[in-house]
Every structure is written in C-alpha cells, then in structure tokens.
A and B are shown apart, each in its own frame.
Chain A
Amino acid sequence: MRALLFYIGCIIVGGLFFAFAQWLGNDYLFFAGYTVLQFVVLATAWNILGGYCGYVNFGSAAFFALGAYSSVALHKLGANVDRYFPDWLSGLAHTIMPLNIPTLIVIGGIVSGLVGLGTGYLTLRLRGAFFAIATLALAVVLQTLIVNWDFVGGSRGAYIIRPAEVPILGNYIQYLFLVMLVLSVVAIAIARIIEQSRLGYGFATIRDDEIAAEACGVPTLRLKLIATTISGALMGMAGAPFPYYIGYLEPSSAFGLAYAVNSIAMPMIGGTTSWVGPLVGALLLGTLQQVATVTISSAVNLLIVGLLLIGFVIVAPRGIVGLVQEFMRERASDQGQPTWRSRLATFANMRPGAR
C-alpha cells in the first residue's frame, strides 16, 4: 500500500513538473531539468554502493561515460550499416538499427554493470581504500582507451545528429526529459526496494562492521559485487541518452571530474543512509548549479560544490537528512500525539526496516 502510494506520488510530481514546463513553453526548462534528473540517477546509483555499503566510488564519470560511449558506438554502427555489417546481416541490421533510446539505456547499463562487476571482483576483496583508488584510476584508463579509439571519434569527439522529432510527443528534448524522469523514478524505486529488503540489511552490516558481518556468515563479497554491479549499471543508464542530449561528445567532457564530484557530493550533502538523501542533495545541488552556471560561471559553481562537500563532511556528517532528523527529534511529539514534525522524522529516517 505504502509502496503503491510512493510510486503514484513520484509519477504525479514528475507529471506536474512536465505539465508546468510545457505550459511555460520554454525548452530551457527541459534542458535544465534533464541535467538535474541525470544527477538524481547518478547520486542514487552512487549511494547504493557508497551510502549503503560504505565503499567509495570515485569513478562515476567512468561508468557514466561508458554508457554514453556505448550509445555513440551503436549510433555509428546504425548510421553506417552497409559498411560494418556483412551482406547477409545488413537486412536484419537495417530493421533494428538505429536503436531507440530505451534500448540504448539497457545496453549502456549492461556494459557499465559488467565493468563494475569486473573492477569490483579484482579490488573489493581488499580494504575499501583500494577499491576507491582503483575506481579513480579506472576513469583515467577508460579515458585513454576512448581517446585512442578512432571509431567513436577518439580525442576529436563524436557528433550525434539526433532526430528532429519523435512519433507521439513531437519535441525531442521533451522526450529525453521524460525518459530521464522515468529512469530516475526507476533508480529511486530500486534504491528503496534494496533498502527495505534483506539485501539492504546485508549492505548495512558491511557498512557498520564488515569483519563482524563476515563472521556472522554474511556473504560480504557477493553482496558488495551485487551493489557495485547495480550501482555501475545505473550510472551507465544515466549516461546512455547523454550523447543525444548534448549532440557532441568528446572524452574530456564525458569523463569530466564534475560527474565524479557531483555524484559523491550530492548524497554526502543530502545524507547517505536512505534514498531520500541523494534525491534531496541532487535536486538542491543540481538546481543550484543550473542557477549558478547561468548567473555566475561554470567554474565557480564547481568550486561551490567542492566547498559544500568539504563543509558538510566536516560539520554535518549525516547530511541534510541528518540535520532534519535532529531538528525533528527535538520536538518529536506533542503530548504523546504524533505531530507533522515527528511524521516527517519517521519519513526521513528510512533505514532498512524502520517502518
């Protein structure tokens, strides 16, 4: 019941924003909204591994770019079917290519998920710091590979000419926005389901005390691999539609440090223990950045994110959700009756099983 209400609520909120933006008739809102929603997906994905398991992934940009570049590669294949496919296959290829965005998202997710699984398998058996460093290095290496891979444009970058219109909706950017909206609802739903399942309990034991968890028979390595794969796959999914959004993709923008920083800063600032945190952090920070990019400059807005990250980590380690919880607890109940504050506190305190 509660879950159903939650999904209905998500769809209503998203639908309202969509209707509002369409009513204003300003495409910029869709462009900005797409970026914010993309960060919602990235932050939620990062939090599945970082927040629930306590393993820091610095390579969000790598997984994101993998998704984006698998789309570029498939787009190129689709645009030059006759050149890359043998004759007996070209008929079939012509019917399925060019692939539509949802298919590309699934493929991007699979590619990134597999890379996440591989990296995790090699490094997750060691201390957490090694995994963090490996992901950081992974971004550099994948960038090197892409720079040297001529098929997807190398360091020159690749142009993606997006179709002018889509069948039902008409406007392409509105279509992309809707896709990203659905994807972010899916990401949040996955995070929420994980949190309330046995998997979530398992993750929490790893975060709190991995050795004790191992001793109690929790299959820690398997759980960590599951988390890394889901998290990486979601990041790849967030990246897959990106080339169609941006129109021109080059390695240094796809692997930009901004993605890595934002996907860490947003959950950290929002709060890492529940799905609410990344959502709040991404909406706040994403909107703030959109405003700052337009009004000040894009370098300054990155500086703001960095300083906010350092500040929150030092002063408010539990993020905005933690601050709200403390505020609510102070006046949790009014003569034994639950107040709106205590209700909000219960809502924000979405640890596994805390119903």
Chain B
Amino acid sequence: MTIELLINAIIAGLLLGGFYAAVTVGISISFGILDIVNIAHPAFIILGSYIAYIVNQTLGFDPILTAIVVLPAFYALGAAVYQVYHASFEKRGQDALRGLAFFFGLLFVTEVMLILVFGVDYRYVQASYIEYTLHIGFMDLPFRMVIPCLMSLLMVLLLQLYLSRTFTGRAIMAVSQDQLALRLMAADPTKIKRIAFAISIATASIAGAFLIIIQPVEPSVGREYIGRVFAICVLGGLQSLPGTVIAAMLLGVVESLTATFSGPSWAPAVSFGFLLLTLAFRPAGLLGR
C-alpha cells in the first residue's frame, strides 16, 4: 500500500514537474539569459489562463489550441513590455531597483484588474480529456496532468532546438555574454533581446492554458508560482533549458511527496526551502558552471 502510494506520488510529481518546466521556461529565458528579473511572469500566465477560460466558456474551444492561437498576441505584448522596460530602465542604466519595482507593479496591476473583472471565484475549463484517467496496474495517469506534461516537454524541446540551431537563437544565447561581439555579427542586441523577451512572454500563454487544465484558477494563484519558478530557474542553472526541466521534475516530485505524506497545505513551503538551500550552497545551480 505504502509503496504504491509512494510510486503514485512520484509519478504525480514527475507529471507536475513537466508542467512546472513550461511555467519556468519563460523565466529561464528572461531572467536566466537576458538578466531581466521579470517577476510579473506568473501574472502573464494567469492572464493566459483567463483567456483560455473565456474562449472555452463562450466558444467551447480546447484551451491549449486557444493558447497557440493567441501566441502572436502574447508575443506582441512581450515586445511592448520590453520596449517600455528598455526605454525607461536599461537605457538609463538604473534597471536594478526601479526595474524590479516596475515588474512588481505590473504583477500587481494585472492581478487587481483580473479581480475587478472576474472576481475571486475559481474558474475552470472543460475538455474531453480532463476527466479521463489511465490506469496501469495500481498506477494512475490522469490525463489532465499527462497532456500538459507531454506538451510542455515538447515546447521546451522546440525552444531548445530554436536556441541552439538557428542564428537568432544563438544570438539570444550570446546576448548576455558579449553584446559587442553580437554587433560585429550584424545583430542588434536590443532587437535580439526584444525577440527573446517576447518569446518568454509567449510561453506564458501556453503555460496558462496548462495551468487551468490542471487546476481551477483565481487571480492570486500566480503568486504561489513566483517562489516556484525562481527556485526551479536557479536550481536549473539559470540559462540551461535541460537544467530547467530536471530541476522542475525534482521540485515536482518533492512537492508531491510532501503533499502526499504531510498534507497539501505544506506544499508551497517546499519551493522556498529549495530556493534558500540552492542560493546558500549552490548558487550556480545543478548544471551550472
């Protein structure tokens, strides 16, 4: 019995970890690669959840499909946010303190606006696969976890291919290391950063759809994810997407075990423990140099 419980908890944790990878990959790009501390990222994820919710309620579309359709809108939003950030903080060379306050304000304003429009009720979506659970022996594989996990791993894989194989992708990886060299390759660092930041916000659309498939969403849910995403990002070594996936799986499993054996109300504390321990003992992350 206990062994079965343990194995099921580990499976649930791995599935959860796959989803966490989708949530964190945006932060890995903006914070890890570009060094922009976008603490508003979870707010964009919740925004994505609510868009998926509206379309699902009114037209009955699949949440993930909706998220892919609205990708360009999130991309544009990301580009716009970066433009404001660049003009107001990066150019003036005072991005540290005020940039953080800017993103914090953004996080807060998005949350309050969502509360004003939708209230604080929990919202959820309907799709054919959400109810379905696959049983293999004593193992349970709920599809509302499996689908987001697989899709998220696919998304991270595509991003990894993009970052390592294309010219723009490699330029993104290079932009934090040597901007002058990038200029010599005829790439404008500001433009590259704008593209990268826009991509990071675009991932929030998809992660938002996953989130609302996995659990009901209300506007302040995003806050719980701030600790998680940064814990995963730091543990994963900031810049590395494979590291992010491994760290996300690790956190997912530990959280799931905590929830199973000490009660779900303790789960949010796990990420902070992870974050503090990582910062204290291994700030370069698992796969860091």
Contact = CB atoms under 8 A, between A and B. Distances in A.
Interface of A: 50, 54, 56, 58, 119, 122-123, 126, 128-130, 132-134, 136-138, 140-141, 143-145, 147-148, 155, 257, 260-261, 264-265, 268, 272, 299-300, 302-303, 305-307, 309-310, 313-314, 317
Interface in B12-61: 31, 37, 39
A143 B102 CA distance: 25
Nearest to A128: B96
Contacts of A54: 96-97
Given A143-B268, A314-B88, 5 more contacts: A126-B283, A132-B39, A136-B226, A140-B269, A299-B115
Contacts of A136: 39, 226-227, 230
A58 to B, nearest CB: 6
Contacts of B106: 310
B230 A299 contact: no
A264 B101 contact: yes
B166 interface: no
Interface of B: 31, 37, 39, 84, 88, 92, 94, 96-98, 100-102, 104-106, 108-109, 111-113, 115-116, 220, 223-224, 226-227, 230-231, 234, 263, 265-266, 268-269, 271-273, 275-276, 279-280, 283
Most A CB contacts (10 A, CB to CB) among B37, B84, B88, B105 go to B105
Given A128-B96, A148-B266, A313-B88, A137 B104 contact: no
A132 B234 contact: no
A306 B109 CA distance: 5
Nearest to A56: B100
A140 B88 contact: no
Q: Chain A interface mostly helix, strand, loop or mixed?
A: helix
A188 B28 CA distance: 40
Interface majority SS (helix, strand, loop, mixed), chain B: helix
A188 B94 CA distance: 26
Nearest to A307: B109
Contacts of A133: 37, 39, 226-227, 230, 275
A122 B227 contact: no
A155 B226 CA distance: 21
Contact of B276 (A123, A129, A147, A303): A123
Contact of B279 (A58, A122, A305, A314): A122
Contacts of B220: 257
Contacts of A307: 105, 109
B116 A299 contact: yes
A138 B108 contact: no
B104 A126 contact: no
Given A133-B39, A140-B223, A302 B279 contact: no
A313 B101 contact: yes
B202 to A, nearest CB: 22
A313 B108 contact: no
Contacts of A265: 101, 105
A309 B107 CA distance: 12
A122 B280 contact: yes
A257 B223 CA distance: 9
In the complex, which of the residues A58, A126, A138, A141 has the most CB atoms of chain B within 10 Å of its own CB atom?
Answer: A141
A209 to B, nearest CB: 11
B14 to A, nearest CB: 23
Contacts of A132: 37, 39, 100
B98 A317 contact: yes
Given A134-B275, A136-B226, A299-B115, A310 B100 contact: no
24 contacts: A50-B97, A123-B280, A129-B37, A134-B279, A136-B226, A137-B275, A140-B224, A140-B226, A141-B268, A141-B273, A148-B265, A148-B266, A155-B265, A257-B111, A260-B104, A264-B101, A268-B101, A306-B108, A306-B112, A309-B104, A310-B106, A313-B98, A313-B101, A313-B105
